[in-house]
């Protein structure tokens, strides 16, 4: 009996560790779909873009890094070498719901059993009632959005302004967040 209990305990620990690892994985760096989480960009002029990155949680620095990474990728995709951040803004949106909620539900199910013997079969149906009770004590939801406007350029990079070498930015941010290649990282969101 103790061996069976030990195996159940071990299985429970393994399942818990896997679930916890899934919760702890890094946020995905990807294009946002339908205004959701991820990066978006819009063209302002031929060499100017507005880039944003929105994520769950309160990781403001990560959102800023990912917006800058997308600016670097976009700079190279458009045939430029460097970019200047003309303006930047970060927004943190926290929503707290302190309202306690309870839920209660019942359902009726029927179990049919068939037992057969030498003289024939007998079918019986047994009703069972299932009752569920749930409680919630409120929740908190946070999201961060970093928005930057960039101007792209080629050749010699200006030194006296907030300018970035696109290749360096990509290399550094890919390494810092363990991003394998453009647009692929972390966990599903």
Percentage with pLDDT > 70 across the chain: 83
Q: Has residue 165 been placed in a domain?
A: yes
Give the pLDDT mean for 125-134: 78
Q: Has residue 94 been placed in a domain?
A: yes
Give the pLDDT mean for 118-122: 82
Q: Has residue 188 been placed in a domain?
A: no
* Of the listed ranges 18-22, 29-33, 74-78, 141-145, the one predicted with least confidence: 18-22
Q: Has residue 27 been placed in a domain?
A: no
Burial 63-101, CB ≥16 within 10 A → b, else e: bbbbbbbbbbbbbbeeebebbbbeeeebeeeeeeeeeee
Percentage with pLDDT > 90 across the chain: 50
Q: Has residue 46 been placed in a domain?
A: yes
Q: Has residue 3 been placed in a domain?
A: no
Q: Has residue 175 been placed in a domain?
A: yes
pLDDT of amino acid 76 = 98
Give the pLDDT mean for 112-139: 79
Per the structure, how many domains does the chain have? 1
Two structure tokens written together for 110: 């029927």
Task: Count Cβ atoms within 10 A of the Cβ of residue 106 and give its class: 0-12 exposed, 13-18 middle, 19 or more buried.
Answer: exposed
Two structure tokens written together for 98: 């302190």
Q: With a cut of 50, say whether residue 186 has pLDDT above it.
A: no
Task: Count Cβ atoms within 10 A of the Cβ of residue 157 and give its class: 0-12 exposed, 13-18 middle, 19 or more buried.
Answer: middle
User: 101: domain range?
Assistant: 37-109+127-182
Q: Has residue 19 been placed in a domain?
A: no
Q: With a cut of 70, say whether residue 168 has pLDDT above it.
A: yes
Residue whose C-alpha is closest to residue 187's, from 16, 29, 17? 29
């Amino acid at each position: 009996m103790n061996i069976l209990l030990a195996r159940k305990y071990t299985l429970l620990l393994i399942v818990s560790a896997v679930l916890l690892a899934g919760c702890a994985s890094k946020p995905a760096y990807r294009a946002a779909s339908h205004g959701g989480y991820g990066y978006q960009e819009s063209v302002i002029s031929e060499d100017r873009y507005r880039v944003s990155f929105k994520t769950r949680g309160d990781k403001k620095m990560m959102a800023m890094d990912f917006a800058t990474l997308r600016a670097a990728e976009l700079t190279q995709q458009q045939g430029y070498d460097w970019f200047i951040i003309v303006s930047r803004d970060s927004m943190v949106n926290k929503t707290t719901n302190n309202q306690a909620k309870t839920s209660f539900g019942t359902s009726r199910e029927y179990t049919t059993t068939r037992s057969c013997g030498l003289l024939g079969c007998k079918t019986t149906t047994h009703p069972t009632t299932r009752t569920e009770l749930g409680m919630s004590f409120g929740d908190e939801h946070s999201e961060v959005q970093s928005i930057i406007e960039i101007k792209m350029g080629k050749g010699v990079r200006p030194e006296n302004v907030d300018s970035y070498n696109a290749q360096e930015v990509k290399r550094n941010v890919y390494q810092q967040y363990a991003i394998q290649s453009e647009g692929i990282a972390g966990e599903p969101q």
